[in-house]
Structures are given as structure tokens and as C-alpha cells.
Amino acid sequence: MNIKSATYVISSPSVEQCPSPEKREYAFIGRSNVGKSSLINMICNNTKLAKTSASPGKTQMINHFLIESIDEPTHKVHDWYLVDLPGYGYAKVALGKRKQWIKMIENYIRKRENLVNLFVLIDSRHTPQEIDISFINQLGEWKIPFAIVFTKADKSTQKEVAASVKAFLYALGADWAELPPYFVSSAVKYRGRKEILSFIDEANKSVEFK
């Protein structure tokens, strides 16, 4: 699959204000600084795209991008939404704001009927963090389809990345009978792009959608 165009649509303060749910939607979430903007830009082949949403006042919003992709080899065009969700785990953010964030994200994740998959980003250099594990376990309780993206793989050796992925999946394994799909990415090396796009492409073709 190739990206034909990627356009910023709108930033919404709540799920109720998001664009009407008539297209399949794929959202990205993770702790701040995990590499979410870089990953989105890499996926869309546009170095400035996610910066639009990082402008002041928009970082705490649900940011929609409209993507047109071309299927190979059929050349069929699919259009879908890519959503940049505000990052979690800001230590400095006041409790009130954090609670507001949790409510907004929970509402979005649970109510957005066209959400096909949530990509949860994890920094591949870190040991399993409680905040990520509990967020993922919460997704399980809510029965939200998700995949994990281990970011910044170029910053460590392959062996270290593999060990880190294994440790994270092992930490998850305590609560999961079946492990989720996962990807290893590097925005610097353009790693993981093809795999993530294929995953989206498959879902665009196969996930039932009215």
C-alpha cells in the first residue's frame, strides 16, 4: 500500500465533536516523547504532518488526518482517518487535567464506533512501565482492538530491542492469554512503515464496515 495524500482535518476536544464516523479509523497513543509524531509523519511520508497537531492548544485534543491510500496491486483507493491522540504519562500535569484527559480518552476509545485499531506506542529502550501495562490491560477489559509499536529501534542494538520487546510481552503475558500484534519501528531508519501500512491495508479490506 502507498499513501496518496495525508491531510490534517480537525482537532476535537471530545469524541462527540469528532468528524462523523463514516470512515475506518486508526488511532495512535503513547506516553509523551515516545515518538508518536515522528511515527505518524513516517507512516504518512510527510515530515510536517503531526506537527500541525502539536501546535499550542492542540496537544490535548483528538487530531484527525484524512489519508488516501492506494492498494497494490489493484490500485484501488481507500480513504481512512488516522488519529493522533494526546500522550499520557505527563508527570508534570496537574491531577485535574489528567482526570480530564482520562475521561476524554476513555470516551473516545469506547464510543468511537469506526475505530478499527488503536496503536499503542512503547519506547523500545525502556523496561516495561506500569503505566503502559495498566493502560493496555484496561484496553483488554474494554475489548478494544489494539497493536503495539515499539519505537526508536535504531537507538539500541537489535539484540537489545529484541530483549526489550520480549520483556514487555512477558510482562503483558501475566494478564493476557493471547498476545497482541506488534511492530518494531524507527522513524529515522523508516523501519516498520511497510508492516504497519500492510496491517492497516488488511483491515481496510477485511474489517466489516457500513
Binding site for ligand GDP (CB under 6 A): 30, 32-38, 87, 151-152, 154-155, 186-188
Closer residue to ligand GDP, CB minimum distance, 104 or 187: 187
Least CB distance to ligand GDP at residue 42 (A): 8
Identity of the residue numbered 64: H
Least CB distance to ligand GDP at residue 43 (A): 12
**Is residue 196 a contact partner of residue 80, using CB atoms and an 8 Å limit?**
no
Closer residue to ligand GDP, CB minimum distance, 40 or 203: 40
Closer residue to ligand GDP, CB minimum distance, 23 or 155: 155
| Spatial distance between the Cα atoms of 83 and 64, rounded to a whole number of angstroms | 5
Least CB distance to ligand GDP at residue 152 (A): 4
Closer residue to ligand GDP, CB minimum distance, 63 or 186: 186
C-alpha to C-alpha distances, 36 to 51, 95, 141, 171, nearest whole angstrom = 10, 23, 24, 22
Least CB distance to ligand GDP at residue 98 (A): 17
Least CB distance to ligand GDP at residue 135 (A): 14
Closer residue to ligand GDP, CB minimum distance, 78 or 152: 152
Residue, CB closest to ligand GDP = 35
* Other residues' Cβ atoms within 10 Å of the Cβ of residue 169: 16
